[in-house]
Structure 1
Amino acid sequence: MDELVAKQAAEALDVLNEHTLRTVHWHFSDDTGSPFWLEKKQELNFDPLTEVKSFADLKKFPLFEDEWLRGGPIRRWVPKGHAGKPVYVFETGGTTGIPKSRMVIEDHWKDYELFSETLPEAYFPKGSNWLMLGPSGPRRLRLAVEHLAQHRDGICFCIDLDPRWVVKLIKKGWMEHLEEYKKHCIEQAVTILTAGHDVKCVFATPKLLESLGEALEERGTSIAEVGITGIFSGGTEFTPQWTRFCVEELFGGSPEESGVYMTPTYGNTLMGLACSKPIRAEDGYKISYYAPQPRAATEVVQFDDYNSVVAYGETGRVKLYTLTDEFFVPGFMERDEGEREAPFDLYPWDGVSGVRPFHELASATTVGVY
């Protein structure tokens, strides 16, 4: 790490420490905290208000359990400091059993406004219309991408897609039905793209993006020819091999050659959106993600000690922290693993590359439309 990046990383850590302190005080103070955390405070063997002085002190908390998010009442998560504001609820999972629910007020807007600043204007022109080719229903993505389009002075066109049905089809082995449902979703997208709506920007999951490219090719056109210049995509299916295939086969070359630019992201309902380091052929299409610090942070930790980070370049499990005034997660073990990446000038804090399902859970993970 060069001297300038080391200095930026030290400054970023100072910001994270201050932000952590403010966030913990907000969530554990009687007048601003949520019923959930105020109740949980009674069970802790330390006082967060006096004993959390830095980000490192979050290790004093027990790991956040996703079971806490299954079932209600959802209002126990609403901080008293936000009383009276309209509340959204976003769900994740739910193919079998009770889905995990996260209450949100404006976090999805703020996360995507920050993400908006990372999009290159040449490929995501302000005022462009968007297509949202991903999950709809009670999922954060649909409203978040729509807000992103509106924030950039565009209009968002959406399709109907139920990922829970996709996962059920996969589990039942109904591959013919799965193929038809995928076709149904792609047909909706092609209809929008060929209806004169001047759509230039797209959100799509990797599998759907590939299917869209193939469907357009069957109709004698392509992603570039229908006028798409900027693609924002996300999901664990993002691999260097798949990215190379997209750039070389689906798009017709690098952004300079094809006019199509793709930015991979890694995100979920708990943390928001991690951006990737710009992808280059000379780096072997390697994808490294960096969380939106200080609102969220990730660590790559040892498989046998979730409080110890691995060395740079080493493999570990992804640990997530969410630090907003709406939602507090002091350490959640993701279902993913990857390699720890060093800070760089654009994101001067740790990142993670090679994200893939955590090996101990991989066989039980159904990826669905992602």
Structure 2
Amino acid sequence: MSNEPISNEAVQKAKEALDAHVREIVNWHFSADTGCPFWLDWASKAGWNPAEEVQSLDDLIAKFPHFQDEWLRDLQPEVWVPKAFEGQPFNVFETGGTTGMPKQRIGWSDYKIDYSEFSEKIADEHFPRNHYWLMMGPTGPRRLRLAIEHLANVRGCSCYFIDLDPRFVKKVIAEKKFDVARSYMDHVVDQAVTILKHRKVSAVFTTPKLLEALSEKLDLWESGIRGVFCGGTTMDPQYTRFLVEEVLENRIGFYPTYGNTLMGLAA
């Protein structure tokens, strides 16, 4: 990485590109030809025209209120369908739903875009092409399940799945049924062990705690694992180092990521 200072000219060009991107997005969402019912109705009641008045990121931040989570719980999904996508079936993705009705958001191909780009950032050494993956994590109504399978497919791979229900885990922990939570984790991990013992798998996606639990039941390297794509819960630097050095023994590629159902893959 270069230590040279970034020039004012480069900063200005980046700002101009970002502002142009903001204008494009706002114009698209607040055009009657492309926008969705929710934002078009919002603009009609707001008393100002975002397509005319938002010319930069600063304008966007200054003029719009905070997005209300309850909109994603209370409103029917069709209010979010842009005119440009009218008539096209959509995916419905949900959050954990630990506080009642889960937040929902719809989508078409954004997860494919995110993970196709991400594929260019992972090494063939750790994620060999034309092979097999294993996902041990939340599937069901989550965007992640489709995203991981797409990422595998982009690299010519197929993927096995072991489902984890985080809503159940959070429920039993809230009820202080820690023995039930542990038993459920063992149940999930045991299924993964069975796959790894009987099928050729070179890459795993899972959460940090499940990865640690899996490593206690078999040798990941000897089982053929060469890359781990990990996310879903907090990983501080100390725990990340533990996973890399102790769990993966500095032999298996480790790719910690951050994202969520609503915004997708962030980093």
Normalising by structure 2, we get a TM-score of: 0.93
Structure-1 separation of matches of 2:75 and 2:204: 34
Aligned residue number for residue 233 of structure 1: 230
The Cα offsets for residues 261-284 of structure 1, whole Å up to 9 and x where unpaired, read as 111111012222122xxxxxxxxx
* More helix as a share of residues: 2
Matching residue's letter, 2:149: E
Q: State whether structure 2 residue 4 is matched by structure 1 residue 2.
A: yes
How far 1:35 sits from its partner (Å)?
Answer: 0.6
SS at match of 2:228: strand
* More strand as a share of residues: 1
Aligned residue number for residue 81 of structure 2: 78
Structure with higher RCO (Cα < 8 A, 6+ apart): 1
Choose which of 260, 263, 267 in structure 2 pairs with 1:271.
Answer: 263
Structure-2 separation of matches of 1:201 and 1:11: 39
Choose which of 42, 45, 51 in structure 2 pairs with 1:43.
Answer: 45
Q: How many residues in Structure 1 have an aligned counterpart in Structure 2?
A: 264
Q: Where do residues 169-180 of structure 1 align in structure 2 (5 Å cutoff)? A: 169-180=172-183
Q: Where do residues 225-304 of structure 1 align in structure 2 (5 Å cutoff)? A: 225-253=222-250, 258=251, 260-275=252-267
Structure-1 separation of matches of 2:83 and 2:123: 38
SS at match of 1:93: coil
Task: Quickly say closer, same or farther: Cα 1:200–1:14, change in 2 above 3 A.
Answer: farther
How far 1:9 sits from its partner (Å)?
Answer: 5.0
How far 1:235 sits from its partner (Å)?
Answer: 3.2
Matching residue's letter, 2:21: H
Structure-2 separation of matches of 1:48 and 1:157: 45
How far 1:14 sits from its partner (Å)?
Answer: 3.1
Question: In the alignment, is the contact (CA less than 8 A) between 2:90 and 2:107 conserved in 1?
Answer: yes
SS at match of 1:97: coil
Structure-2 separation of matches of 1:146 and 1:71: 30
Structure-2 separation of matches of 1:168 and 1:145: 26
Matching residue's letter, 1:116: S
Task: Quickly say closer, same or farther: Cα 1:121–1:187, change in 2 above 3 A.
Answer: same
Structure-2 separation of matches of 1:8 and 1:214: 49
Structure-2 separation of matches of 1:9 and 1:212: 45
SS at match of 1:185: helix
Structure-2 separation of matches of 1:202 and 1:235: 14
Aligned residue number for residue 354 of structure 1: none
Aligned residue number for residue 132 of structure 1: 135
How far 1:4 sits from its partner (Å)?
Answer: 4.9
The Cα offsets for residues 140-163 of structure 1, whole Å up to 9 and x where unpaired, read as 111110111111110011012111
* Structure 1 moving runs of 4+ over 6 Å: none
Structure-1 separation of matches of 2:143 and 2:128: 24
Unpaired segments ≥5 residues, structure 1: 217-221, 276-370
SS at match of 2:74: coil
The Cα offsets for residues 319-357 of structure 1, whole Å up to 9 and x where unpaired, read as xxxxxxxxxxxxxxxxxxxxxxxxxxxxxxxxxxxxxxx
Task: Quickly say closer, same or farther: Cα 1:165–1:30, change in 2 above 3 A.
Answer: same
Aligned residue number for residue 221 of structure 2: 224
SS at match of 2:245: helix
Matching residue's letter, 1:142: R
Question: In the alignment, is the contact (CA less than 8 A) between 2:131 and 2:157 conserved in 1?
Answer: yes
Q: Rg bigger for which structure? A: 2
Structure-2 separation of matches of 1:144 and 1:237: 20
The Cα offsets for residues 25-80 of structure 1, whole Å up to 9 and x where unpaired, read as 11110111001111111232431110111122211100111111003311100101
How far 1:97 sits from its partner (Å)?
Answer: 1.4
How far 1:252 sits from its partner (Å)?
Answer: 1.1
Report the RMSD for the aligned CA atoms in angstroms: 1.7
Unpaired segments ≥5 residues, structure 2: none
Structure-1 separation of matches of 2:261 and 2:7: 30
Q: State whether structure 2 residue 108 is matched by structure 1 residue 116.
A: no
Aligned residue number for residue 209 of structure 1: 211
Question: In the alignment, is the contact (CA less than 8 A) between 2:207 and 2:233 conserved in 1?
Answer: no
Q: Where do residues 324-363 of structure 1 align in structure 2 (5 Å cutoff)? A: none
The Cα offsets for residues 279-337 of structure 1, whole Å up to 9 and x where unpaired, read as xxxxxxxxxxxxxxxxxxxxxxxxxxxxxxxxxxxxxxxxxxxxxxxxxxxxxxxxxxx
Structure-1 separation of matches of 2:10 and 2:226: 33
Structure-1 separation of matches of 2:231 and 2:202: 18
The Cα offsets for residues 67-124 of structure 1, whole Å up to 9 and x where unpaired, read as 1100331110010111122200000021341110000111111111111111122211
Q: State whether structure 2 residue 184 is matched by structure 1 residue 181.
A: yes
The Cα offsets for residues 118-144 of structure 1, whole Å up to 9 and x where unpaired, read as 112221122231111110111111111
Structure-2 separation of matches of 1:17 and 1:270: 23
SS at match of 1:33: coil
SS at match of 1:123: coil
Task: Quickly say closer, same or farther: Cα 1:38–1:123, change in 2 above 3 A.
Answer: same
Task: Quickly say closer, same or farther: Cα 1:5–1:229, change in 2 above 3 A.
Answer: farther
How far 1:21 sits from its partner (Å)?
Answer: 1.1
